[in-house]
Structure 1
Amino acid sequence: MLLRLQDHRVGHHDGASRNSSSVSVWPQPQPQVKVKKLSKGKKHYSGIYGRLLALAAHALAEVPASAWRPCADQRNWEPDEGKNGYIMVTANGGINQQCVAICNAVVVAHLLNATLVVPKFMYSSVWKDASVRLVKELPEELKSLDLEAIGSVVTDIDVMKESKPSFYLKNILPILLQKRVVHFVGFGNRLAFDPIPFQLQTIIFSPHAVSAIIARNVRAAKPSRYLALHLRFEIDMVAHSLCEFGGGEDQRQELEAFRQIHFPALTELEKTGKLPSPAMLRSEGLCPLTPEEAVLLLAALGFNRKTQIYVAGAQIYGGKSRLAALSNLYPNLVTKEYLLSPTELEPFMNFSSQLAALDFIVCTAADAFAMTDSGSQLSSLVSGYRIYYGGGRMPTIRPNKRRLADIFVKNNTIEWKVFEQRVRKAVRQTKHVQSRPKGRSVYRYPRCKECMCRTD
């Protein structure tokens, strides 16, 4: 798939050789953008950003190396013997949550001097980390135990989010020593990043971890010239945001129905009237960028119509009609469904985590990566990976949605040149080289003394 992205001739072509749809869509799309051809090849866009999109189309028609380097492999500690017992982990969530859970499990196993049993969904070949003793399965004398009956099953309810190492030493180690085995069920975001000792933080970015395997694959696929765009605009994100996206009453009713089924607690909270209004949420930058807003951002930053764009994500809310602006302004638009034939995709179908892994690999290898929501797991892990392995040559566009909201609200009056200037200023003034703030994820902010070193 990466090799096909190197072919600059890739573009929209006969669907007989590829899937007919370039992007997976939600089954019942709500039309958002209509494109009408006018005289002399001009196009008119209707919808919430119709005027700005028309200006963007017209504009496109006309037209620092980092001092940080990876050093987590410079460790000064010896691997443990795993003699205190066995730890099993069943990671929940998608591929990105699973990656975080697995890395945290390695840290906890080392902290407790335990032997880690490889999670069942992982292939044993990726486990090359020398910091922890690893086995494929429990020894025979422990296999027959009813772990739940003996109190060895620990769920997310039992472990607070981002628990400190002291919690595991005080509460989990006694169970491990007495029962010889602990099974973590869930284990999503159950390890704090502060205070984690230096020698434990470095485990996370071991050169032999899963991320290094991906790194080798990425390097083998270079050089490539494309922008990867993660559109986090699936219906779950749209509904949970409580924002409005120009679809009127029909869209509000559809999203409310989705919330009642999937986010009942949020629906009950809505009834109290204590939640911010959609307008307030948007002004505070709490709404995910729409595909139209992503188009305007890219156009303002100078990406021209020839830019080859890989779109990560699936089931974009609103379907093809919601993507009309993106596909019309950027015709060299591809996805995994477009690059791979149905036969090539077949082994991954019905495995959402594996499909997400394809997006992750392509996004990490891109010349530039743009996200529309900095809080998503995929975007966070991709940007952290690019910081760690990129050497300052793998830029990530992380929009300041609050500042952009103030610019977008003037879509009916602002001139294109002024819009370009304001967007570029907002991006330019966003801090690019940022050390990890206290308590924040090292997966997203690897620039810290535990993981990276400065060369200046």
Structure 2
Amino acid sequence: MKDGRRRFIQEETGIIMYGRLLSLASSSSLTKNNTADGQFLLLEESAGQVPEWIPCADKTNIANQEQGKKHNGYILISANGGLNQQRVAVCNAVAAASLLNATLVLPKFLYSSVWKDTSQFGEIYQEEYFLEYLKNDVDIVKELPSHLQAVDVEAIGSQITDMEIMKEATPSYYIDVILPILQRNGIVHFLGFGNRLGFDPLPPYLQRLRCKCNFHALKFVPKIKKLGSLLVQRIRKYESKLTEIDKQLFGKYMPTYEPAIRNRSLIRPVKYLALHMRFEVDMVAYSLCNFGGGQRERRELQMYREEHFPTLIARTQNISISSEELRISGKCPLTPEEAALMLSSLGYKSETYIYLAGSHIYGGLSRLQPFMQLFPNVVTKEDLLSPEELRPFKNFSSQLAALDFIACASSDVFAMTDSGSQLSSLVTGYRIYHGQGQAPTLRPNKKRFARILTDHAAIDWGEFQRRVRNMIEENQRVTPRGRGRSVYRLPRTPGCMCKGS
């Protein structure tokens, strides 16, 4: 990172938790670099299995069209959360509207005191493309008809909040509970709609529809595509082979390269790794874990919980569980030190070029310093894009998050520290769906990794490497989506991806 661009990280005191292992990793990292061309390929999915799964969610839902359709009314949705939570809510709403034979009004995005972004659907995604792409699958309009625009949906009992609809609700719930309200009042407003449609049991046509929405219908607006393309161009530094993922993300705004750069001798690694390091203050505080910062850290995190997570405080005030128990059960987010150890144990050397998604690491520069000592070639969007280029995105966190989504999805290897985050989940699924088996993702098992790290005082580096590699490689196996698992993260499932001949 450039020193002038480090203001985004708070200056706080951090504690190095695994000094001995980091020292061993540093010694290993200084050996001859073999990663420029080959190491990224070692952890790809099994090439022999991948062709069996082919993207097919773009097909029209003929089964749904054949049903006798009676128009039951209009569905409004006000999606909460950030970019990725809202994306999931939109696709779930498309499926719910189809299920209920209703017309979906173009989704609205709620303002969040956490995300502080006023962006609406049309400022992030292409409205006309969205409407046109899904027109044969579900009715979608930009606004309510005039006779419904003045209706007080809450007063007539047609406003449904996340508190009133069960998490991952089944289709039968919508038919039994929501449909009567819709038929009676002609309108239903889902306020929030976070994760309120289950993955199983679900008819194949609905599974296909929300995959079609996520992987095909939602295209970023030109403003985001253009800057995302410029960002990827600057990460790669010179011309490289464009992938199917690039085509899906950029369309006509493909990364281009100046002749001076194209003819320059290659001084950087050919490939880059994108890392989503989930160690922001909100996640750290919510975990209830300690991270070696002593009383100051505990006071700071407790104050943050009291301000932002009062329900968590109330729920856990009579529960006694130690930070060590939380860590060994995989409940604690990986620290930057742990992320560095994971990558180093997989063979990535100090020359590895890393794009860091997100910027606000809890604990500041001192917490990130052990990672930077092992991997100094770290860049962020703030390093590669000028203040002038970023100015139109200032105060629009969801639009900035879209740039991280693009850089992570386009990377040669994507690594995460927490598989439960929405960005990591959606990027993983996008790379599986459009990546043609050539877009590997490194995903740790936090519980298993914590058990490996409990031996850090005695374990030798070779044994540590072996155990971490086994953990990661087991997650590289090509398997169908398990029951109840997210189709957005694991699209190898009937209706979303199809088995080829």
- Where does structure 1 lack aligned partners over 5 or more consecutive residues? 1-11, 33-46
Q: Does 1:129 align with 2:134?
A: yes
Q: Where does residue 78 of structure 2 map in the other structure? A: 90
2:273 to 224, 227, 239: 227
- Structural mapping, 1:29-44, within 5 Å: 29-32=12-15
Q: 1:127-174, CA deviations, whole angstroms, 9 ceiling, x for partnerless residues? A: 131211111111111112222222222211221111111121122222
CA contact (8 A) 1:129 1:208 kept: no
Q: Percent identity?
A: 51
Q: Do structure 1's residue 217 and structure 2's residue 201 form an aligned pair?
A: no
CA shift in 2, pair 1:78/1:171, >3 Å: closer
Unaligned runs of 5+ in 2: 33-45, 109-119, 226-244, 258-269
CA distance in 2, matches of 1:126, 1:231: 32
Q: In structure 2, how many angstroms separate the alpha carbons of the residues matched to 1:268 and 1:84? A: 41
The 5-angstrom pairing of residues 349-364 of structure 1 reads 349-364=394-409
Flag the 1:324–1:281 CA change in 2: closer, same or farther, 3 A. Answer: same
- Going from structure 1 to structure 2, the CA distance change for 1:192 and 1:414 (only over 3 Å counts) comes to same
Match of 2:89 in 1: 101
Q: Equivalents in 2 of 1:286, 1:297: separation in Å?
A: 17
1:129 counterpart letter in structure 2: L
Q: Does 1:265 find its partner at 2:250?
A: no
Contact 1:218/1:364, CA 8 A, preserved across alignment: no
Q: Name 2:335's counterpart in structure 1.
A: 290
1:114 aligns with 2:102: yes
Structure 1 equivalent of residue 284 of structure 2: 238
Q: What is the CA–CA distance in structure 1 between the aligned matches of 2:216 and 2:327, rounded to whole Å? A: 42
Structure 2 residue corresponding to 1:304, chosen from 344, 349, 357: 349
After superposing the two structures, state which structure 1 stretch, 144-153 or 320-329, moved more: 144-153
* Alignment correspondent of 2:261: none
In 2, the alpha carbon distance for the partners of 1:211 and 1:418 equals 45
Moved more, 149-158 or 203-212: 203-212
Cα distance in 2 for residues equivalent to 1:310 and 1:90: 33
C-alpha distance 265-145 of structure 1, shift in aligned 2 (>3 A): closer
Within the candidate set 72, 78, 97, 2:57 is matched to 72
CA distance in 2, matches of 1:170, 1:400: 39
Q: Which residue of 2 aligns with 1:253?
A: 299
Paired residue type of 1:241: S
User: Which stretch shows the higher mean deviation, 186-195 or 345-354?
Assistant: 345-354
Q: 1:126 Cα shift?
A: 4.1
Q: How many residues align?
A: 424
- Residue 340 to residue 262, structure 1, CA distance change in 2 (3 Å): same
Q: Is the 8 A contact 2:11 2:366 kept in 1?
A: no
What residue identity is the alignment partner of 1:125?
E
Residue by residue over 1:153-203, the C-alpha shift from the partner in whole angstroms, topping out at 9 and shown as x without a partner, is 221122111111112112222222222221111111111111110111100
Q: Hey, what's the Cα distance between the residues in 1 that align with 2:196 and 2:218?
A: 20
TM-score, length-scaled by structure 1: 0.87
Which of 145, 158, 164 is matched with 1:158 structurally? 164
- Counterpart Cα distance in 1 of 2:277 and 2:388: 25
The verdict on how the C-alpha distance between 1:279 and 1:222 changes in structure 2, with shifts beyond 3 A counting, is farther
**How big is the shift at 1:78?**
5.5
Cα distance in 2 for residues equivalent to 1:268 and 1:92: 23
- Contact 2:352/2:377, CA 8 A, preserved across alignment: yes
Which string of whole-angstrom CA distances, capped at 9 and with x for unpartnered residues, describes residues 308-348 of structure 1?
Answer: 11111231101111111222221211111111111111111
Report the CA distance shift for 1:218/1:301 in structure 2 as closer, same or farther (over 3 A): farther
Following the alignment from structure 1 to structure 2, what is the Cα–Cα distance between the partners of residues 431 and 446? 15
Whole-angstrom CA distance in 1 between matches of 2:377 and 2:181: 56
Deviations 1:83-141 (A, max 9, x none): 32111110001111101100011001111111111024212234131211111111111
Q: Which residue matches 1:44?
A: none
Secondary structure in 2 matching 1:443:
coil
Q: Give the SS at the match of 2:8.
A: coil
